[in-house]
Amino acid sequence: MFSFGTSAMPGDDWEGFLDRLVEQGRTAHELPFVKDFPWKERECERFGTLAAERGIALSIHAPYFAVLTVEDEERRARCLSALEHSMKLTAAMGGRVVVAHTGNHHDRDPGFVLDLVTEGLERIEPKVRHLGVGLGLETAGKASQFGSLGDIALLAQRVEFVRPVVDWAHVHAMSKGGLTSTESFAAVLAFLRESFPGWMLDPLHCQFTDNQFGDKGEIRHVPYGSGSLKIAHLAEAAMADGMRLTIISEAREVESHDAMQAELLDALSDGVDATESTGRPLGSGAIEFPEPIRVQREGDRFTPIGAFRPLSLSNIDKPFFPDGYTKGDLIQYYASIAEVLTPHLEDRAIVMARYPDGWDGEWFYEKQAPGHQPDWMPLAPLHSEHRGEPIEFVTARDRESLMWLAGMGCVEIHPWLSRTSNVEHPDFAIFDLDPSEGCTWRQVQDVAHLVREVLGKLGLVGYPKVSGATGLHVYVPLDPIHSYRRVRGFVEAVGRLIMAADPDDVTMEWDISKRDGKVFIDHNQNVGGKTIASVYSARPRPGAPVSTPILWEELEDLPGPDAFTMATIWNRLSKYGDLFAPVLRGGQTLEAAEEALGLGEHV
């Protein structure tokens, strides 16, 4: 649950240095590149390889001068360049986070400073977004500094590669000595839970040491034990919360490192996890989920502890996948993924793909809400031409909604392409690349590259996700102003261009028997009422794969469409965040592309 380490440069004997960390029981280490960049990428790669062989997680502290609150353009450019370089070196090392100071506010308007920092982060975002490294902004320790946890939370809402780095000594100083109990640490962890998605906190990167402080904040670090901070209080709060921590000791004395580590080990061995006596885990324990949920038994059913809405679950130990994963694991998965998934489901009708007996049992699609859904779940009544009356679809606005769906055996979640508030106009076009019998994954990759190339020539950007099953989907975000007919016509026209360019690999043939060995581009997925497995939807297949967004740059080396699972997606989210967030922002229209494709007037 805890990774503990220190901050120091290793000298010349890297292997001996790392071996000593292992002997000391250290599983994390931070390299203080605080004055300059002593290593190049090749050295970072080598050190990272040696550390990975020993199970040591690495991070880098960026140069102190690389702050985000500078206005002078020449100096600002140097600061941003240093942060970008720090992130590239961390990526080469296999690290997950760069620690950086935000800078001083100099009594400027808080809104102005927030916008200034945001602009700087947005400037480097295209250069670092693909690295899979979080920019960890360290909490301020002085009244003159910008960077409270509230500030960092606002920045994380604007820029997804931002991560909070909690310097507990700084928080202690700014609260004028407020961190003196388990409850006070728990209050900070609760604020983090409320303010950041779970994947940004898994694990939470933090720093710890004792300090001396005054009215204006931190004055200096002091040997551990001579101040009022106790790492045991942090450990107790984190264990009760279920939050994993990477703790870097910033003390200057070896004795302080050892004392903190010993106190952590004592807290773990004392079994102070208060949740152990309250209920039982929802999942089977086969997967390490962020934000694990515990449940209380009520007869033959179970109630989640701490749920915001009343919820009753059944058969949580029922095997649901051939890997030993249970229905409880599926429910826990959707609870843990909720913060990134629910924005993609907001205001959308959902078709449930239900597997009451697990992945290989009888299954069915269900559109109409079953009638025994919770009272708090909003329904979406949409007119059905086939029925001649509305169908009341379920929706999923929050974590409990997703947990209820999973509790119904809904392995796959299929949302509409349009929102209920604008049901005739989809928010995106979908290229569904479906491999036919005898088709290879290599062919799917090649066709996806062709889709990207044609979109680029039409001035449009698409975002790929592996289906989690056999194929790949490319989403083209749109402003919701085009009819389904126009969107479908656009996808069909692009598909036929690609088929003409590569007839050996591409088909749009409706007769399944005539598709063998080719990738089928299904433009009729872009029809009102038709749905496709949502981003982050689980799929009923061995390994419990998940439909996962990818970077175009990684498509070439991706082993297959089921590369990410309920068990493995968490590290990816921690590195990249929600790669499908741009799909929600729209910002593209089809007029110019339609003209280039010669589609003429559309109704």
CATH number for the domain spanning 221: value is 3.20.20.150
165 and 106 assigned to the same domain: yes
- Measured CA to CA, the distance from residue 28 to residue 35 in angstroms comes to 21
Among the listed residues 26, 51, 55, the one whose alpha carbon sits nearest the alpha carbon of residue 261: 26
Is 158 buried (19+), middle (13-18) or exposed (0-12) by CB count in 10 A?
middle
Tally the C-alpha atoms within 13 A of residue 323's C-alpha that lie toward its C-beta: 16
Q: What's CA 415's distance to the chain center, in Å? A: 20
108 and 232 assigned to the same domain: yes
In 10 A of CB 585, how many CB atoms?
10
Is 297 buried (19+), middle (13-18) or exposed (0-12) by CB count in 10 A?
exposed
For residue 510, give the CATH number of its domain.
3.90.920.10
Is the residue at 423 inside a domain?
no
171 and 262 assigned to the same domain: yes
In the DSSP assignment, the letter for residue 130 is G
> What pLDDT sits at residue 100?
96
Among the listed residues 547, 490, 549, the one whose alpha carbon sits nearest the alpha carbon of residue 523: 490
At which of 415, 446, 465 does a domain end?
415
511 and 565 assigned to the same domain: yes
- Measured CA to CA, the distance from residue 281 to residue 316 in angstroms comes to 10
Is the residue at 290 inside a domain?
yes
> What pLDDT sits at residue 271?
55
448 and 384 assigned to the same domain: no
390 and 443 assigned to the same domain: no
HEC profile of 180-211:
CCHHHHHHHHHHHHHHCCHHHHCCEEEEECEE
Q: What's CA 138's distance to the chain center, in Å? A: 20
Is the residue at 603 inside a domain?
no
Is the residue at 376 inside a domain?
yes
Cα angle 62, 64, 70; round to 5:
110
Using only C-alpha atoms, the chain has a radius of gyration, in whole angstroms, of 26
- Measured CA to CA, the distance from residue 6 to residue 246 in angstroms comes to 10
192 and 230 assigned to the same domain: yes
Give me the number of domains the chain comprises: 3
299 and 242 assigned to the same domain: no
Residues 6+ apart with CB under 8 A from 53: none
Among the listed residues 446, 415, 551, the one whose alpha carbon sits nearest the alpha carbon of residue 564: 551
At which of 254, 272, 290 does a domain end?
272
Q: Are 336 and 198 in contact (CB under 8 A)?
A: yes
Helix or strand holding residue 389 (H, E): strand 389-394
> What pLDDT sits at residue 339?
86
Q: Which residues of the chain have pLDDT under 70?
A: 271-277, 601-603
462 and 581 assigned to the same domain: yes
In the DSSP assignment, the letter for residue 575 is H
Is the residue at 420 inside a domain?
no
Is the residue at 421 inside a domain?
no
- Measured CA to CA, the distance from residue 67 to residue 61 in angstroms comes to 12
411 and 437 assigned to the same domain: no
**Both structure tokens of 435:** 């491999």
Is the residue at 563 inside a domain?
yes
Q: Are 283 and 332 in contact (CB under 8 A)?
A: yes
Residues forming beta bridges with residue 61, ordered by sequence position: 32, 99
Helix or strand holding residue 342 (H, E): helix 327-345
At which of 383, 415, 447 does a domain end?
415
In the DSSP assignment, the letter for residue 241 is H
Residue with tokens 């901050």: 7
369 and 242 assigned to the same domain: no
173 and 213 assigned to the same domain: yes
Is the residue at 199 inside a domain?
yes
Domain that holds residue 486: 428-597
Question: pLDDT of 526-547, one tens digit each?
Answer: 999 999 999 999 999 999 999 9
Residue with tokens 């009594």: 107
**Both structure tokens of 102:** 């935000």
Specify the amino acid at residue 176. K
Q: Are 142 and 214 in contact (CB under 8 A)?
A: no
Dihedral over Cα of 216, 222, 228, 232: its sign: positive
Cα angle 2, 195, 103; round to 5:
85
